[in-house]
Homo-oligomer: A and B are copies of this chain.
Amino acid sequence: MSRVVKLALIPGDGIGPEVVAEAEKVLDAVTADSGVTFEKTRFSLGAARYLETGDTLSDEDLAAIAAHDAILLGAVGGVPGDPRLKDANIERGLLLKLRFALDHYVNLRPSKLYPGAPGPLAEPGEIDFVVVREGTEGPYVGNGGAIRVGTPHEVANETSVNTAYGVERVVRFAFDQAERRRKKLTLVHKTNVLVHAGGIWKRIVDEVAAEHPDVAVDYLHVDAATIFLVTNPGRFDVIVTDNLFGDILTDLAGAVTGGIGLAASGNINPDGAFPSMFEPVHGSAPDIAGQQKADPTAAILSVALLLDHLGLSDESARVTRAVEDDIAARGDSGRPTAQIGDAIVGRLQA
């Protein structure tokens, strides 16, 4: 019995295509004898496409992507400050549009300090937690506006929208993660200042906590959470938080665990109504694009998340183990992008 998985590939801009190429090698290698065939469709989307055609993400593209079983994305975004991209906002028009349209309400971002990975902390201890970041609400909804733009009387507003429906579903997902891990969940918000947005998060976490008496629950203000991420990251198991705080905490967590070159993520629709999308946390880094300087590890670990999401947990574990072994042997090597990919494939086949 062979299974076919329809995979949409969005290599994107900058280093995106380079790291996706390595991720594909790894995916192909690990699924070679698995009985699962990946049918890949490539979508040319991002700043480069916008500059050619003026399209960010057309309805046709969106519909075509939505017809797949899963998505692997590299990175999107042009050179910062490029005047031709001034009115584009590739992030909102492409990346966030995909997350919102495909109802990726869980943005899952694991942080682990792998033995051998160079980190900035003097005494990092053991670090192994996941951030469950909400993906479809909060300050990211785009409910903002401005009047008298460009004048001394401009007023610019942004509204964070938080619903019981939206908060509860991601909080439930986070508790499920905690049940499968070390049974500890930390809500991060800023309830003392954002009393309404914070209030709904606090209330729903308390309610769902009552159904999980075996999970230890605590709460941290976002400012305090950043302190603990550098002074005691080992205290975290599962962090659940809103879209903006999750954005901030996961970049910091990436830095603390050896750099954003290792940080993978899944934009997940757990209901399966839409395809989930896997991508490295890093951006398109146009300054080093095309030079084989990018680390493909985050993209490769995103493949591990993708495999796990598809129920291919053995294959996922094999990829993670191969990456771990590679990191442990890495040193300060500065190998080219393709060489890192090849080394990881080599370990898979060994």
Q: Which chain A residues have a beta carbon within 8 Å of chain B's beta carbons?
A: 80, 89, 91-92, 96, 119-123, 139-140, 142, 144-146, 148-165, 168, 190, 192-197, 199-200, 203, 219, 222-224, 226-227, 230-231, 244, 247-248, 250-252, 254-256, 259-260
CB < 8 Å neighbour of A164 from B91, B151, B162, B222 = B151
Docked CA distance A336–B46 (Å): 58
The docked-state distance in angstroms from the alpha carbon of A162 to that of B163 is: 24
Establish whether residues B196 and A224, one from each chain, have CB atoms under 8 Å apart when the complex forms. Answer: no
Q: Which listed residue (B140, B158, B203, B223) contacts A251, Cβ 8 A?
A: B223
State the number of copies, please. Answer: 2
Within 8 Å by CB of A154, from B119, B123, B160, B163, lies B163
Cross-chain contact B190 with A244 (CB below 8 angstroms):
yes
Whether the Cβ atoms of B192 and A89 lie closer than 8 Å is yes
Residues of B within 8 A of A154 (CB): 163-164, 200
Are A92 and B195 neighbours in the complex by a CB distance under 8 Å? yes
Note all chain B residues with C-beta closer than 8 A to A224.
251
Given contacts A154-B163, A252-B252, contact A91 B144 (CB under 8 A): no
Min Cβ gap A139→B in Å is 6
Chain B residues within 8 Å of A155, by CB = 161-164
- Whether B252 pairs with A195 at a CB distance below 8 angstroms is no
Residues of B within 8 A of A153 (CB): 163-165
B139 pairs with A152, CB closer than 8 A: no
19 residue pairs of the A-B complex, CB under 8 angstroms, read A92-B195, A120-B230, A122-B122, A139-B139, A139-B194, A140-B193, A144-B196, A146-B199, A148-B164, A150-B203, A153-B164, A156-B161, A156-B200, A158-B197, A193-B244, A223-B252, A226-B226, A226-B252, A227-B254
Q: How far is the CA of A78 from the CA of B231 in the complex (A)?
A: 24
Contact B157 A161 (CB under 8 A): yes
A260 CB contacts on chain B under 8 angstroms: 227
Given A157-B160, A160-B139, A230-B255, the answer on whether A152 and B123 have CB atoms closer than 8 Å is no
With both beta carbons as reference points, the residue of chain B lying nearest to A150 in the complex is identified as B203
Q: Name the CB-closest residue of B to A250.
A: B223
Tell me whether B200 and A226 are in contact (CB under 8 A): no
